[in-house]
Structures are given as C-alpha cells and as structure tokens.
Amino acid sequence: MHNKPLRPIAPISAILLILLISVTSLWAEDPVLHAEDYSAPGSVLQLIISGDPVDNITVSLQDERERTLSRTEGFQWRTPTGRSISVALLGIPSTALPGRHKLVVKADQGRAEWHLEKVLNISDRVFPEQVIRLSDKMNTLYTDDSERKKLESRELWTVLTAHDPRAVYHIGPFIIPLVQSTPTAGYGDRRRYRMPDGSESSSVHFGRDLWAETGTPVLAAGRGRVVLAAERFLTGNTIVLEHLPGVHTMYSHMDSIDVRIGQMVEQGTPIGTVGQTGFATGEHLHWEMRVGATPVNPELFIDAPLLDTDALMGKM
C-alpha cells in the first residue's frame, strides 16, 4: 500500500499575514464622499471624506464631456483633541455653465486606491458687464507680450497651485481688507476693453475692486503666510497670503508693500497701502481669492467660515 504524499504546510508567517489582512479588512472603514448636490458659479464646495483617513486626495470638477473645469487637493483637518477627517475645498469657476456636472475624487488608503464620484448640479448665474476704455498707455500694458509678463504669469501659477497640507492657518470668516471703501467692480464681471483704435477684447474679472485713497492701509483678510510679495508688470505691487492648503487671497495695485515672503500675519494686520500700480485705471485695491488656483468670490466668506467645522464634526 502506497502512502499518500503529504501536502506542504504553509509557513506560519504566511498564515499570520493572511489573518492580519482579514482582521484589517474587518476594521477598515471604506471612505464615503459627502458634498452638497447643488452649487453656483464663483462658490466654494466643501467635500468631506468620512471613514478611515485617506492620503493624496485630488478632486476635480468635470462637465458632461468630462473636461476638467477646476481641480484641488485635500488635507486632514484635526480637532484640538487629535481626531481627524479628510476634507477638500473646490472652487467653482464663474464661467461654469449651468447643468449636471461630476465630482471625481481620487485618494490612497494604505495600498488601496479609491475612485469616488458624485453628481453636482450647477445653477445659472448672470454676471454684470463692464465696458472699459483704454488709454494708449493702458493699451500698451494690456497687449504687452514681453518675457517678463510671461515669467510672472508662470511664477504666480506656481504659487497658487502649491499645496502644503500643513498650512491650516485660518478657518474662520474673512474681514474686508479696507476699513472704509467703495466697491467699484465685482467678482465675475464680464469686461470689454475698448482699445484706442476701436477694437475690443474681453476678459473676466477675477476679484473685487475696492476704491480708497492712495496710502489707505490694506489689512490681511485672514491669518496667513506671505507666499508672494513683489512688484509685478500687470498687478503692480502684489501680495498673496496662504490661509489653508490651496486657499489664497491676493492684494494688487498697491502703493506699498509692508510684509516679506515667509512672514506670518494675523487677521487685520496692515500689509501695505492702496495705490495705482500696474494695469490700473485709478487708485483702488483689487482683492482676489483663489481655491486650488480657481478664482472664487471672496465676499462669500465675510459672514461664513472657510471651513464648516460643524459639518466636519458631524461626519467623524
């Protein structure tokens, strides 16, 4: 009688690994995407990813043809007691057309790669139109095609697309950066520039224009780190503050700059003064907000916080 061959016994380390994977799968909580179903051009959408923390979060807004309209990265928001949850802020462009869109979220969780999607409906919004007549000097600035102008554009894009997940400096509301001012142009205004020869060119206004006399102090809208402070070709004396990962405010056409790159400033700190430098038809402050480099309406956060912490706590 022949004995049956013995089956090899799996190494103990392999058995322990299988058990560990099984236990981990029981404990792991799959990520779930939470966001509003509706938004509007110029708004900021807060996305929450509940479950176990995820890393390398990217969020994109796509239209029905799957073209990317805006993009951002997420980060971990932590409570004072050390609890954390994944969150991302996404800017909705003022040029987004009304209708059905798609949110696409990609993230890592250990060795797992997650792909989450959600429908987002964007409402219609009509922005005012302005006609601005350019002088010969302003026309020269506007149509300039110098290397300096191109270089500064690339440098600004690098600053606005930078993402430091540790940069959680301000989560509350903003203040208007001038104590007293007169609004002269709004976010999202459609502009038609009329050239001296009668031709026209169109653009979209990315921020809010506030008139005040030259020399009026400009205040930091919120606590943040200075990531740009320079005299630029088009925007003149310009400061950019980082408030949250990928969330910035910009202050342009100033007469003077009173801060330096890398400096931390508190909300309400004077950072410069109102002026008329760069491509400006008169003295004013151009105040802008970018989320993931997408221009959004900064006035939305005068009465509302940058982060809805109640919603975040509710998903923990």
By DSSP bridging, strand 68-73 and strand 75-78 are unpaired
- Phi/psi for 236 (5° steps) reads 65, -145
Nearest to 222 by CA among 159, 160, 172, 280: 172
Coil/strand/helix, residue 23: helix
CA 89/CA 242 separation, integer angstroms:
14
Residue 20 has a pLDDT of 40
Residue 189 has a pLDDT of 95
Residue 25 has a pLDDT of 40
Measure the N-to-C terminal CA separation of the chain; round to a whole number of Å: 65
Please give the single-letter amino acid code of residue 187.
Answer: Y
Place of tokens 């990928």: 246
CA 201/CA 213 separation, integer angstroms:
29
Residue 24 tokens read as 């981990």
Residue 118 tokens read as 């959600």
pTM of the model: 0.88
Residue 28 has a pLDDT of 58
Per-residue pLDDT of the chain (316 residues; tens, 9 = 90+): 444 444 444 455 444 444 343 334 445 578 999 999 999 999 999 999 998 889 999 999 999 999 999 999 999 999 988 899 999 999 999 999 999 999 999 999 888 999 999 999 999 999 999 898 988 888 888 888 889 999 999 999 999 999 999 999 999 999 999 999 999 999 999 999 998 988 989 899 999 999 999 999 999 999 999 999 999 999 999 999 999 999 999 999 999 999 999 999 999 999 999 999 999 989 999 999 999 999 999 999 999 999 999 999 999 8
Coil/strand/helix, residue 259: coil
Are 59 and 90 spatial neighbours (Cβ–Cβ below 8 Å)?
yes
Please give the single-letter amino acid code of residue 164.
Answer: D
- C-alpha distances in Å from residue 85, one per residue of 45, 76, 82, 305, 310: 16, 6, 10, 17, 12
**What is the set of domains in the chain, with CATH numbers?**
32-125 (2.60.40.1930), 129-301 (2.70.70.10)
CA 110/CA 128 separation, integer angstroms:
48
Residue 39 tokens read as 């938004």
HEC string for 149-179: HHHHHHHHHHHHHCCCCCCCCCCCCCCCCCC
